[in-house]
């Protein structure tokens, strides 16, 4: 970032030495030639594609069903499709099977034809296997489990091989598995996963409590959730879907119900993609934001205040390379995570995570929903493009609020607090801000072309704001574009600190404003203002700085008040732009007890 060459002027009764910030366009690129990167939503699914009618139907006829009675150490049934060997129950046919009673140390195994779709009704069934899965679906086309009353499926703490399936869950299915009904199910797996499915795992009803040492739900092809209530307490991911053989599979789809997840790993991890349409999701990942890795703005955020570490060192004396290697090997503790795209169209989502609140390895799209996020790293992170067109997003704690190579905001109500940058357009992997001042050497860096800029970081990033409400409180840069910034609409407020090498705006190429309202405050030492504008801009340094709680107003020549704002942090720079401001016109500015007239750029 380049320090602006300011002109010293006297502004009426403002303090002597106040400065008008004059923009320096660091790249002559034409802002009008840019466009927001598009995000393909070809992966997006609908309820009609995700759930069949039978998935959602818990209906059965007891008179036409086969009843299996569990009697402690044994079981009884008079059907030829059910074989009982001690405490092992083998189901080999199609149809509906009602299980009642308790099996102290045994298993229920489904081994039907590959065209069968049997229904198991758990009606007060409590099954424990000390050394394997309580329910094991070995062969069938699909199995439906319907819940009536209170039920439990438990593993005793070890898994001993009974065939070549490598059973590692209290419930283990090699085929499609659907849970529905109005009853409840408690799953306990102190040595493995809760529920494992090697195909599609579907929930359309019922109440679930899952405690597991490993993943709560683990599926190869997909996890699909609607109209159910589930509480998960797990030593790894709450919900994990991953398929190493087919890149289109291994996804998570949520369109309703309630999920409450406490996970030592990720809350929800979709290896392929993750889509949320509706429902209530509450996640505590990795113990919460307080367990997040300590940051120092890439080692340079407090450079002028004595907090920086030369040589690219991270806290604890680790180099950037060592930190990256350690982070790669460490447990992921994100709230919602997708191996490719992340799409949220609705729902109420509350996340307290040691790592990113929302994370996408490619692109994230938020069209709606209500978010409450506290993150030990980024509030919302996408490696490529982050698009927000709707929803209410409140990030109460984060290292960086929104981070992606390209950030595109067209709507929504976003409020965020960040200990480093509020918005950061940064290239590369999740490094919380490559480029900009955070990386100091190489092309564009100190000692390289362009003065202070990015080191090995991308200057291809972009931030485009076309609508919505955005309120940023950042302890680093308010908006940091390792590339360009364009504001075309919406209402944007940036409140930055009056310390260190921070700035309200930090960009490598250009920053333009052609619509919308912008109010920004922060430090003056490294300040930048817009380099291109189609509406008036006021940018002024107010001397040594103003304290928290000082009111700022701007009025036109007729006395009409155009802006009234009280920053929550001390400041020494004010930047204001509005469609009501006209370049060349004079406006009356008050800052606390100070006042004067200033001509808009």
Split the chain (601 residues) into runs of 10 and give each run's mean pLDDT: 31 40 47 59 90 97 97 96 96 98 98 98 98 98 98 97 95 98 98 98 98 98 98 98 93 98 98 97 97 54 27 32 46 96 98 98 98 98 98 98 98 98 77 33 28 46 98 96 97 92 93 98 91 95 86 96 95 96 96 93 94
Is this prediction's pTM over 0.85?
A: yes
Determine the pLDDT at residue 37.
65
3-state secondary structure of 70: strand
Give dist(CA 430, CA 405) in Å, integer. 10
Determine the pLDDT at residue 57.
96
- Burial profile 223-232: b = 16 or more Cβ within 10 angstroms, e = fewer: bbbbbbbbbb
Contact 488, 514 (CB under 8 A): yes
Cα(first)–Cα(last) distance of the chain, in Å? Answer: 21
Determine the pLDDT at residue 17.
38
Q: Is 10 exposed, middle or buried (0-12, 13-18, 19+ CB in 10 A)?
A: exposed
Give dist(CA 473, CA 420) in Å, integer. 10
Quick one: the chain helix, strand, coil %, rounded to 5? 5, 45, 50
Determine the pLDDT at residue 293.
75
- Find residue 123's DSSP bridge partners: 148
Determine the pLDDT at residue 380.
98
Determine the pLDDT at residue 35.
61
Per-domain boundaries in the chain: 49-236
| Torsion angle in degrees (nearest 10) through CA of 510, 511, 513, 518 | -170
Residue 122: both structure tokens together: 């758990």
Which run of H or of E encompasses 301?
none
Helices assigned H by DSSP within 232-390: 320-329
Angstrom CA distances, 596 to 18, 587, 590, stand at: 11, 8, 7
Give dist(CA 85, CA 82) in Å, integer. 10
Give dist(CA 360, CA 39) in Å, integer. 13
Contact 402, 416 (CB under 8 A): yes
């Amino acid at each position: 970032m380049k320090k602006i060459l300011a002109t010293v002027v006297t502004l009426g009764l403002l303090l002597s030495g106040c400065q008008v910030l004059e923009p320096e366009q660091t790249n002559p690129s034409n802002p009008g030639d840019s466009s927001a990167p598009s995000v393909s939503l070809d992966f997006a699914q609908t309820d009609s594609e995700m759930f069949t009618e039978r998935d959602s139907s818990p209906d059965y006829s007891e008179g036409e069903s086969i009843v299996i009675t569990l009697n402690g150490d044994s079981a009884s049934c008079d059907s030829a499709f059910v074989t009982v060997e001690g405490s092992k129950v083998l189901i080999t046919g199609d149809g509906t099977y009602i299980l009642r009673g308790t099996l102290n140390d045994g298993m229920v195994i489904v081994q039907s034809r590959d065209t069968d779709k049997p229904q198991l009704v758990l009606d007060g069934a409590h099954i424990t296997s000390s050394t394997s899965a309580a329910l094991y679906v070995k062969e069938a086309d699909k199995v439906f489990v319907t819940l009536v009353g209170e039920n439990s499926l438990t593993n005793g703490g070890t898994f001993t091989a009974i065939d070549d399936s490598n059973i590692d869950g209290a419930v283990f299915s090699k085929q499609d598995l659907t849970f529905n009904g109005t009853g409840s199910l408690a799953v306990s797996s102190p040595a493995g996963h809760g529920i494992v499915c090697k195909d599609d795992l579907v929930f359309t009803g019922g109440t679930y409590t899952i405690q597991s040492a490993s993943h709560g739900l683990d599926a190869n092809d997909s996890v699909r959730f609607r109209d159910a209530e589930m509480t998960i307490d797990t030593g790894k991911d709450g919900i994990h879907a991953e398929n190493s053989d087919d890149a289109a599979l291994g996804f998570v789809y949520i369109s309703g119900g309630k999920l409450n997840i406490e996970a030592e790993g990720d809350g929800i991890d979709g290896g392929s993609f993750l889509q949320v349409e509706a429902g209530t999701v509450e996640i505590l990942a990795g113990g919460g934001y307080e367990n997040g890795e300590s940051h120092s703005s890439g080692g340079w955020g407090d450079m002028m205040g004595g907090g920086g570490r030369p040589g690219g060192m991270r806290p604890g004396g680790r180099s950037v390379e060592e930190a990256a290697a350690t982070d790669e090997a460490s447990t992921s503790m994100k709230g919602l995570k997708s191996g490719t795209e992340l799409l949220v169209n609705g729902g109420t989502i509350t996340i307290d995570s040691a790592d990113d609140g929302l994370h996408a390895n490619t692109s994230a799209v938020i069209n709606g929903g209500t978010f409450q996020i506290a993150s030990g790293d980024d509030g919302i992170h996408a490696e490529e493009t982050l698009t927000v067109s709707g929803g209410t997003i409140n990030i109460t704690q984060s290292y960086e609020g929104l981070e992606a190579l390209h950030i595109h905001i067209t709507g929504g109500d976003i409020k965020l607090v960040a200990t480093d940058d509020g918005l950061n357009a940064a290239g590369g992997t999740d490094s919380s801000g490559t480029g900009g001042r955070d990386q100091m050497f190489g092309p564009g860096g100190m000692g390289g072309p362009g003065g202070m800029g990015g080191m090995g970081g991308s200057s291809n990033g972009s931030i485009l704001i076309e609508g919505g409400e955005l309120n940023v409180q950042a302890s680093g840069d308010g908006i940091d574009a390792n590339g360009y910034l364009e504001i075309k609409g919406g209402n944007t407020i940036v409140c930055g600190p009056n310390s260190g090498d921070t700035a309200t705006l930090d960009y490598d190429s250009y920053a333009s404003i052609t619509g919308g309202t912008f109010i920004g405050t922060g430090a003056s030492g490294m300040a930048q203002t817009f380099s291109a504008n189609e509406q008036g801009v006021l940018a002024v340094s107010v001397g040594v700085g103003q304290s928290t709680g000082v009111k700022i107003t701007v009025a036109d020549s007729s006395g009409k008040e155009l802006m009234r704002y009280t920053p929550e942090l001390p400041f020494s720079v004010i930047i204001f732009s509005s469609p009501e401001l006209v370049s060349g016109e004079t406006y009356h500015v008050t800052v606390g007890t100070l006042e004067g007239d200033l001509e808009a750029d």
